[in-house]
C-alpha cells in the first residue's frame, strides 16, 4: 500500500528523516529551494459540509526561512481555504488552525506547503469537526447515547491483539 500523502514540488523535495523523528521511525522533511516554488505534501479524499467549522493542529519544526508554512484545504470546486503559520521554531511545536467550509465536498485536499528557503519537518497533522467531543464526532456520540449500551468494545473480537497503533497514524 502506498502512502495517501503525495509530494508537492520537485522530485527529492520531500524525504524521510530517521535521525530526529517526532513519532515513530521517521518524519517528513520538506526541502525548499528558495526560488518561490512551493514544496510540501498533500492528501485528498476528505469530506466537509458547507458552513461547518473544522479545527486542527499541525506539529512543525524547521528553519526560520521556511516560514510561512501554509495549511490549505482545497475544495472540489477549486475554492482554497488557507491558514499561514508565519513563524516556526527549530524544535517541534504545535500550531492550531481553523477553517469554515464554503461548500460541501467529498473530495477535499489538505496541503502543507511553503515557498520559503531551507527546510521544515511535519510531525503530525490533525483535522476534525469543530463540534467534536474529545476527538469523537458529535453525531456518532449522539447515536451511541441513543443505544444506551453500558460498554463498547473497539473494534471487538481478536483484531485488537494484532493491532499496532502506529498503523493508524
pLDDT in tens, 89-98: 999 999 999 9
DSSP bridge partners of 8? 40
Q: What is the pTM of this model?
A: 0.82
One-letter-per-residue 3-state SS of the chain: CCCCCEEECCCCCEEEECCCCCCCCCEEEEEEECCCCCEEEEEEEEEECCCCEEEEEEEEEECHHHCCEEEEEECCCCCEEEEEECCCCCCCEEEEEEEECCCCEEEEEEEEEECCEEEEEEEEEEEEECCCECCECHHHHHHHHHHCCCCCCCCCCCHHHHCCHHHHC
pLDDT in tens, 96-120: 999 999 999 999 999 999 999 999 9
Confidence at residue 149, expressed as pLDDT on a 0 to 100 scale: 83
Q: Tell me the average pLDDT across 14-41.
A: 92
Confidence at residue 155, expressed as pLDDT on a 0 to 100 scale: 60
pLDDT in tens, 44-80: 999 999 999 999 999 999 999 999 999 999 999 999 9
Amino acid at each position: 500500500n502506498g502512502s495517501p500523502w503525495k509530494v508537492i514540488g520537485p522530485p527529492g523535495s520531500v524525504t524521510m528523516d530517521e535521525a530526529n523523528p517526532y513519532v515513530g521511525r521517521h518524519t517528513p522533511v520538506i526541502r525548499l529551494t528558495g526560488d518561490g516554488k512551493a514544496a510540501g505534501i498533500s492528501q485528498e479524499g476528505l469530506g466537509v459540509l458547507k458552513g461547518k467549522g473544522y479545527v486542527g493542529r499541525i506539529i512543525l519544526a524547521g528553519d526560520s526561512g521556511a516560514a510561512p508554512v501554509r495549511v490549505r484545504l482545497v475544495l472540489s470546486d477549486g475554492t482554497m481555504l488557507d491558514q499561514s503559520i508565519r513563524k516556526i521554531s527549530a524544535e517541534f511545536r504545535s500550531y492550531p488552525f481553523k477553517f469554515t467550509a464554503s461548500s460541501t465536498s467529498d473530495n477535499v485536499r489538505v496541503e502543507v506547503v511553503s515557498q520559503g528557503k531551507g527546510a521544515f519537518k511535519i510531525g503530525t497533522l490533525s483535522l476534525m469537526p469543530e463540534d467534536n467531543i474529545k476527538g469523537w464526532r458529535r453525531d456518532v456520540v449522539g447515536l451511541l447515547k441513543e443505544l444506551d449500551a453500558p460498554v463498547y468494545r473497539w473494534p471487538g473480537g481478536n483484531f485488537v491483539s494484532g493491532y499496532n497503533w502506529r498503523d493508524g497514524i
